[in-house]
Structure 1
C-alpha cells in the first residue's frame, strides 16, 4: 500500500519509513513539485490535517493515502513554547540548529539548567474514505545544552523520562520504542490497516 507523506523533512521521512515498514512510503515531493502549505491552525492536529488535505488535493488521485505529521516540543518554563512553532521558532527559514540554539538560549535566559517538557506528534490521514487523526506524546526534560549527534530537531537537548541521556545520544531502536511519533504512528497503523 502506497503511503504519501505530506512532508519533505528528511528526518521525518526517515523516521516514518522506519516505523511503517509494511507500507511503500513516499514523500509527496517525489510525485509532484513541492509547494508552500500555510499552517495556520491553532494546534498540532489542525496543522497536520491542513498539510494532509493540501497534499491529497494537489495529488488529484482518489486512491492515494496521505499521511501528515505535525509535531513539536513544548517547554513548561517557557509557557509551552515553542509548541506549534517548533519548526520555525528561530524564523521562517531557520535550520534545525538555529531552532535548537534559540531554545537553549531561552532556557539560559530563564536561568535554569532544565525544565519539564514534552513532545507532541499529531498524525493526520486523508483518504477518499475520510479524515482521521491520532496523537502521541513523550515526556521528559529540556536541558540548556546540546549533547549527542543523533536524531534531528531538538533531540540533543531533550532527556526522556526514565533516561539519563538525550535523544541525541540514544540509539534508534530505543528512540523508536519511546518516541511521540512512534506512539502516534502505532495508532495510525491501526487505521491504515482498515483500508
Structure 2
C-alpha cells in the first residue's frame, strides 16, 4: 500500500528533490504530492522568527487541512557579518518579495566595507514533518563565502554571490544536478529520511495486518 505525503509547496523542483532523495535511499511506499494535488486551504503568513518555526507552522497547517503527513521547509541566507541576517527575511530583504536583483544589491551595499576574510555565510534550510505519529524538525546548512559582484545565471536568490565552501564557482554556476546533491535543502531532506522511513514502515505494517 502506498501512503501519500504532502509537500507544502507548488514548486515542482522541491517535490522532485524529495522524490529523488527517497528513491536514492531505497524508501518505498510513499507518494509525494504537492499543494496543486490536494484541495486548496488557507495558507497563513510565515510569521515565526526562525526557519524551524516557519517550517513547522506550514507542516502543521498542511496536516491539519488534509490529514496527510506533511513536509514543509523554510530557507534563506545567514550572513556572519550581519549577525545571521537576512535569515527568514531573505526573500524580501529589500522590501519587495522575490526581487532577487534588489535583494542582492542591498546585501552587497551592506557588506561593502567587510573584508574578504570576513564574508562568511551559509544557506540554511529547515524541514519539518508533521503526521499523526508526531513532529520532526531538522536543519541543513551549506557554508560558503560571498563575492563582491554576482557571477553565474543558474539558480535564483543569492546564488550568484555564494561560493560554497571548498569550491571555486558560485551556486549560480553549478548545474541543477550538482547543486541539488549538496544544497542546504538536500542536506535537510536527507536528515529527515529516518522519520520518512519510519512513516513508510508504519504504513506497510498497517497494510499487512
TM-score in terms of structure 1 length: 0.85
CA RMSD, Structure 1 to Structure 2 (Å) = 2.3
Change (3 A) 1:150 1:171: same
Structure 2 CA distance for aligned equivalents of residues 11 and 107 of structure 1: 31
* Corresponding residue of 2:34: 27
The residue number in structure 2 matching 1:7 is: 9
User: How is 1:46-195 mapped onto 2 (pairs within 5 angstroms)?
Assistant: 46-59=53-66, 61=67, 64-91=68-95, 93-108=97-112, 110=113, 112=115, 115-195=119-199
Shift, 1:8, TM fit? 3.0
Higher fraction of helix: 2
CA distance in 2, matches of 1:173, 1:83: 25
Give the TM-score normalised by the residue count of structure 2: 0.80
Q: CA deviation at 1:66?
A: 0.5
Which runs of no fewer than 5 residues in structure 1 stay unpaired?
none
Q: Helix, strand or coil for the counterpart of 1:194?
A: helix
SS of 2:111 mapped into structure 1: helix
Count of residues paired in the alignment: 191
Q: 1:71–1:84: 8 Å Cα contact kept in structure 2?
A: yes
The runs of 5 or more residues in structure 2 that have no matched partner are 200-209
Which has the larger share of strand? 1
